[in-house]
Amino acid sequence: MKKLQNILNNKKYQNNRLASYSYSIKSSFLQNIFITLIFFSGMMVTTLSYSQPYVPAHDPILQQVAKEVPPKEILQEENQKIIDNMVKIARNETRGMAGLAAPQIGVPLQIILVNMNASLEKADNSMSAKIYINPKIIWKSEEEVEEYFEGCFSTGSLIGMVPRYKTVRIEAYTRNGNKEEFEFTGYTARIFQHEIDHLHGLRFPDRMKENFDKLHWVEAGKMAEYATNFNNWDKKCSKDEWLSFINEAPPSNNK
């Protein structure tokens, strides 16, 4: 695991500006470790313009339950083109990406992409895209829950500490139409939970329950400061502000 200052001084890291789908900071090492880029469904924090290929944070599709893809239709050209487009978006995302859900690009279908290279231990923006269709969590480690920080392409510059199950078992179809089961733990399990939430109209602040004291506005240029000063961060986002943010035109976060 890299020291915080080494990561912040790394030119490649600086140029990538805190990539997409998400990043996390492990709470027990908050003072000296910046844990890498994740991007659950596009999970990572950055100050984003609301433009293609991602829909804006207040788009109604992000609050709707996506439709399942009929298994017999997975191989149809239309659905394969959607999958190809998601892979293309992920590979072209220069800021890095840990995951992507179809609703984030305006497609109301239960399809997610997960970057299997996403890691907490290293700042690795390389893409190993895997597609999962109609994914369902069929088992979770209810006795083991961990909190990490998450961000998202679909929440603007918000960052929050989100509880997630440490291990999950997933049932899903591959892009070849095969139904399979998979088990994941740690950061990869977190990405799956983040992305599957998108398919049910949920984003990470919705998983914070009433603990909105841990939901913050953080500009991209303030990430180094935030990583070492989380407990004293004054730019908090209340529950009312979150609801306003997702139901109206995005407000300014320059408070």
Instruction: Please give the single-letter amino acid code of residue 202.
Output: L
Q: Is the model more confident about 231 or about 85?
A: 85
Structural domain includes residue 51: yes
pLDDT at position 188, please? 93
Euclidean distance between CA atoms 79 and 209, whole angstroms: 35
pLDDT at position 123, please? 56
Tally of domains in the chain: 1
Cis peptide bond N-terminal to 53, omega within 30: yes
Range of 207's domain?
4-247
Q: What is the mean pLDDT of the chain?
A: 80
Residue 236 contacts by C-beta under 8 Å, 6 or more apart in sequence? 212, 213, 215, 216, 217
Model confidence at 117: pLDDT above 80 = yes
Q: Is the model more confident about 51 or about 126?
A: 126
pLDDT at position 44, please? 43
DSSP secondary structure string for all residues of 7-51? HHH-HHHHHHTS-SEEE--BGGGTTT----EEETTS-------S-
pLDDT at position 249, please? 54
Q: What is the pLDDT of residues 2-32, one digit of tens each?
A: 333 443 344 433 333 333 333 333 444 443 3
Percent of the chain surpassing pLDDT 90: 57
Euclidean distance between CA atoms 122 and 35, whole angstroms: 8
- Radius of gyration of the chain, Cα coordinates, nearest whole angstrom: 17
Chain position carrying tokens 């893809």: 69
pLDDT, mean of residues 31-35? 35
Structural domain includes residue 15: yes
The gap from C-alpha 239 to its chain's centroid, in whole angstroms, comes to 20
Model confidence at 145: pLDDT above 80 = yes
Structural domain includes residue 127: yes
**Model confidence band, residue 124 (pLDDT cutoffs 50, 70, 90):** low
pLDDT, mean of residues 135-143? 96
Structural domain includes residue 253: no
pLDDT, mean of residues 39-47? 39
77 is catalytic: no
pLDDT, mean of residues 130-134? 98
pLDDT at position 209, please? 79
Euclidean distance between CA atoms 166 and 177, whole angstroms: 28
Q: Whole-prediction pTM value?
A: 0.80
Q: Where are the beta strands (DSSP E) in the chain?
A: 21-23, 37-39, 99-101, 111-115, 129-140, 145-150, 158-165, 167-173, 179-185, 215-217
Kindly report the CATH number assigned to the domain that includes residue 86. Answer: 3.90.45.10
Residues shown for the chain: 255
Structural domain includes residue 137: yes
Euclidean distance between CA atoms 214 and 232, whole angstroms: 10
Burial level of 35, CB count in 10 A (0-12/13-18/19+)? buried
Structural domain includes residue 255: no
Structural domain includes residue 254: no
Q: Of these residues, 195, 210, 219, 225, which one is catalytic?
A: 195
**Model confidence band, residue 252 (pLDDT cutoffs 50, 70, 90):** very low
Helix (H, G, I), strand (E, B) or coil at 167: strand
Model confidence at 223: pLDDT above 60 = yes
pLDDT at position 122, please? 61
Structural domain includes residue 72: yes
